[in-house]
Chains A and B, each alone.
Chain A
Amino acid sequence: MIRACLFALALLASPAFAVEPDEVLSDPALEERARAISANVRCVVCQNEPIDSSNAGVARDLRVLIRERLVTGDTDQEIYDFLVLRYGDFVLFKPPFKPSTYALWLGPFAILFIGGLAVAISLSRRPRRPATKDTHLSAEEETELAKLMEEDKSL
């Protein structure tokens, strides 16, 4: 019974939203863009949380700022640029693809490629079984076999 109650309570629980009602824009399209951008921007205080779900003061300020800029007609990219100019690439959950991040983006593929190459080389060097193996018995073996068959029959 208690378990059932706890389970029912757990179902009732909804994730807490940090976005407060007074922040929400009246235009649903703009609000949706604001939410999408906020989900990609890291909170500089909590660091592993997007500002969309962070309760930190700076996160709220940034959410409000993003909405203000959306209302004045900024594109998503302009808003990201604005934030990166102040907080660096760190605020983006998805790091940009540029020379200093090549190792990050290409490293796994490079390792996969090297591994694949190593496997391919080691397989190609393995001594191959002769492709046309002689499956026929030699004359000696034929006579041996015939002898065994004879013995078998005589039993």
Chain B
Amino acid sequence: MKRLLFALPLLVALIIGGFAIWGLSGGRDPSALPSVLISQPVPQLDLGPIEGVDRPGLTTADITKMEGIKLLNVFASWCAPCRAEHPNLTRLGQEEGLTLIGINYKDKPEAAATWLEELGNPYTALGSDYAGRAGIDLGISGVPETFIIDADGIIRHRFAGPVVGDGLKRFMDALDEVRK
């Protein structure tokens, strides 16, 4: 009993140390934020179309009505990583039969229109979020961010950062998880 008591501080130190090692090692990203929106329906959005772009705006009701898995992509023409991920998202939409929904974050309509003309417009619906309020409702920390929404209109995954390279692989894994 007494020996056990003497081992107690060591045990506590081991537990705390083990937790620290777990926290510092492995492929975990300590700055990654959990999203509170996972397993929640899409928050109430009501965004008008981008001026000069031939796509309707979007509301949460519209998104819920759409069939199959949807990718809600928040992007801006001034964001270089958005440009990098654009071909990947376009390809994903075509090859995997996903519906792409875009939110144009804090962007001038003309700039967004030119950007979409140049790179192609894979989006079924496009909302303009000039003030960034939809971004706050979605809890984003920057662009690009992509949400995977399942057939029932529930947000299943939040992906912060561009869907390229290693990110594309992780995104595909998340997509497979949602499809299960």
Please report A residues at the B interface, Cβ cutoff 8 Å.
Answer: 44-45, 47, 57-58, 61-62, 65, 84-88, 90, 111, 114-115, 118, 121-122, 125
Contact = CB atoms under 8 A, between A and B. Distances in A.
A61 B5 contact: no
B17 interface: no
Contact of A86 (B5, B31, B137, B142): B137
A61 B139 contact: no
B108 interface: no
Contacts of B35: 88
B8 A114 contact: yes
Contact of A58 (B9, B33, B36, B132): B132
Contacts of A125: 2
B141 A90 contact: no
B2 A57 contact: no
Contacts of B34: 88, 90
B83 interface: no
Main secondary structure of the interface of B (DSSP, over half): loop
B136 interface: yes
Given A44-B33, A47-B31, A65-B136, A58 B12 contact: no
Contacts of A65: 133, 136
Given A58-B142, A115-B9, A86 B136 contact: yes
A86 B36 contact: yes
28 contacts: A44-B33, A57-B106, A57-B132, A58-B135, A58-B136, A58-B140, A58-B142, A61-B131, A61-B135, A84-B36, A85-B36, A86-B43, A86-B138, A86-B139, A87-B33, A87-B139, A88-B33, A88-B34, A88-B35, A90-B34, A111-B12, A114-B8, A114-B12, A115-B9, A118-B5, A118-B9, A121-B5, A125-B2
Given A61-B133, A118-B5, 15 more contacts: A44-B141, A57-B132, A61-B135, A65-B136, A84-B36, A86-B36, A86-B43, A86-B139, A87-B139, A88-B34, A114-B8, A114-B12, A118-B9, A121-B5, A125-B2
Interface of B: 2, 5, 8-9, 12, 31, 33-36, 43, 106, 131-133, 135-142
A58 B136 CA distance: 8
Nearest to A110: B12
A122 B5 CA distance: 9
B84 to A, nearest CB: 20
B7 to A, nearest CB: 10
A128 B22 CA distance: 45
A62 to B, nearest CB: 7
A69 B31 CA distance: 29
A85 B136 CA distance: 10
A61 B137 CA distance: 12
Contacts of B132: 57-58, 61
Nearest to B31: A47
B22 to A, nearest CB: 14
